[in-house]
Chains A and B, each alone.
Chain A
């Protein structure tokens, strides 16, 4: 009896395994995400996972903010994934409350606040 129940549990397990795999790959559109990712080089992948528009803006900030300069991010929630990604990509430029630049991630604008 116990063995039969264990067998049924295993069969349910396998059925759910297959169902959740299909759901993840096709219903949640992972397949189309992977297809888009595979066709891009590393920079393109960064852009895809960050959002193309935000990533283009980050690249612009990287060009215009010199290494070692400071910036403050506005326009996104503090501690949000967007803020963390901007911080990651812009390093070695550091966030500061007394910044050289303002990075406005909602309007995709970069403003210089010092030495104008």
Chain B
């Protein structure tokens, strides 16, 4: 019975996400079916959690039928739009003749990916939530909300401050509450299914992103590389929020790159901004990706301004506006209850303070090199990235990889800056967090590799 309720909860999230996706894109002719399903899953869960936050602002208790009303209205609007246009869904399809191609390598890669997926689900569901942050920061909040069937009125002003990091966003804790409500009990083992589903979502989105410019075996090869990174698989199972964040960062980056290639694609721009906002609704680090992506939109709008009309100039502001709209409920609560980070102070972001922090760079780079040469967590990924960067140096500034490259570089710089303005002892902080921070943009790194090597490998 619990399994049926769990499946119903997950399908509800997909259904809601799919309706939002349809609202933005209309016909699904730019998505593969499985890609649309997993994008919908991520959007749906985040939409439900944002809705629960709005319930709190409105002073309403959580109840599944009540929570479904806005989505049923959206569904009705979409149904009306669907029959008015009389256009069926036309998902992108794989080339049938290519499906048969591939041979042994393709088979091996498929086996590797399927194995890693099963392993991630098995590892996640074998244990209830038990790892440090998962229990101390996120699961405790979802337990508080579930037992009260509401975010308690004094949560942000009182109870939250009794637990670590009251400033952390509530996307996943509230998504966990949604699962508990659907199950009818606090099953902190089954709720972990959320996390390997994000893992599969990333693999699926990445695979189909690569299928748009490469063959099946090539896309499988890079998907296998990502799936088989030990650190990536481990974080699919421990109920930390690194992979949900990576999922939204990847989607935001993909739609952003799509927009930067074709500056007329406003829907991709809106989608990228919404995904960046959901990244910030998942973890505070997501705010950095909002800043990076907004910067990229502004920068390339100015860089390409000769080709653009005045009408196009408003698009960077549209990007910022979408982020602010999606994040507004959370920003409202943070402002109302004076919730600020206990790890960093943005006021420290000035040259005089940063200059004083230069000695911290030693610890930051020391911990970074431990990751760089750490095969237990990363296999030989980072040395391979360096090798490919050196031998394909000329390709760095061409095509889509230049956007991905700048995005990765800015993310690394952002984290270094984060360490420099942090209150926490840098040696301790970097040793605990670098390996997790790298996960946030890891799928974009794999995508970048795939772009860089597409002319070198013929499979």
Cross-chain contact A88 with B135 (CB below 8 angstroms): yes
* A3: chain B residues within 8 A (beta carbon): 456-457
Residues of A in contact with B, size category: 20 to 34
Closest to B139 in A: A88
- Residue among B126, B163, B376, B453 with the highest chain A CB neighbour number at 10 A: B126
> What CA separation (Å) do A6 and B449 show in the bound complex?
12
- Residue among B122, B230, B453 with the highest chain A CB neighbour number at 10 A: B230
> What CA separation (Å) do A68 and B389 show in the bound complex?
59
Cross-chain contact B132 with A84 (CB below 8 angstroms): yes
> What CA separation (Å) do A85 and B457 show in the bound complex?
49
Question: B143 contacts the other chain (Cβ, under 8 Å)?
Answer: yes
Closest to A24 in B: B230
Chain B interface residue count, CB cutoff 8 Å, equals 33
Q: What is the predominant secondary structure among interface residues of chain B facing chain A?
A: helix
Question: B384 contacts the other chain (Cβ, under 8 Å)?
Answer: yes
- Residue among A17, A38, A48, A92 with the highest chain B CB neighbour number at 10 A: A17
Report A1-23 residues with CB < 8 Å from chain B CB: 2-3, 5-6, 9-10, 12-13, 16-17, 20
> What CA separation (Å) do A5 and B456 show in the bound complex?
11
Question: B414 contacts the other chain (Cβ, under 8 Å)?
Answer: no
Cross-chain contact A38 with B126 (CB below 8 angstroms): yes
One of A9, A13, A17, A38 near B387 (C-beta < 8 A): A9
Cross-chain contact A91 with B144 (CB below 8 angstroms): yes
Interface contact tally, CB-CB below 8 A: 74
Closest to A50 in B: B130
One of B112, B225, B230 near A20 (C-beta < 8 A): B230
Cross-chain contact B230 with A94 (CB below 8 angstroms): no
CB-CB under 8 A for A84 and B375, given A2-B391, A9-B380, A42-B187: no
User: Residue-by-residue, is B23-35 near A (CB-CB < 8 Å gives 1, otherwise 0)?
Assistant: 0000000000000
Question: B379 contacts the other chain (Cβ, under 8 Å)?
Answer: yes
Question: A74 contacts the other chain (Cβ, under 8 Å)?
Answer: no
* B147: chain A residues within 8 A (beta carbon): 91-92
Closest to A48 in B: B127
User: Residue-by-residue, is B115-147 near A (CB-CB < 8 Å gives 1, otherwise 0)?
Assistant: 000000010001110101001100110011001
Question: A72 contacts the other chain (Cβ, under 8 Å)?
Answer: no
> How distant is B327 from chain A, measured CB to nearest CB, in Å?
28
User: Residue-by-residue, is B137-180 near A (CB-CB < 8 Å gives 1, otherwise 0)?
Assistant: 00110011001000000000001001100000000000000000
> How distant is A48 from chain B, measured CB to nearest CB, in Å?
8
* B144: chain A residues within 8 A (beta carbon): 91-92
**Contact residues of A with B, CB < 8 Å?**
2-3, 5-6, 9-10, 12-13, 16-17, 20, 24, 34, 37-38, 42, 45-46, 48-50, 81, 84-85, 87-88, 91-92, 94-95
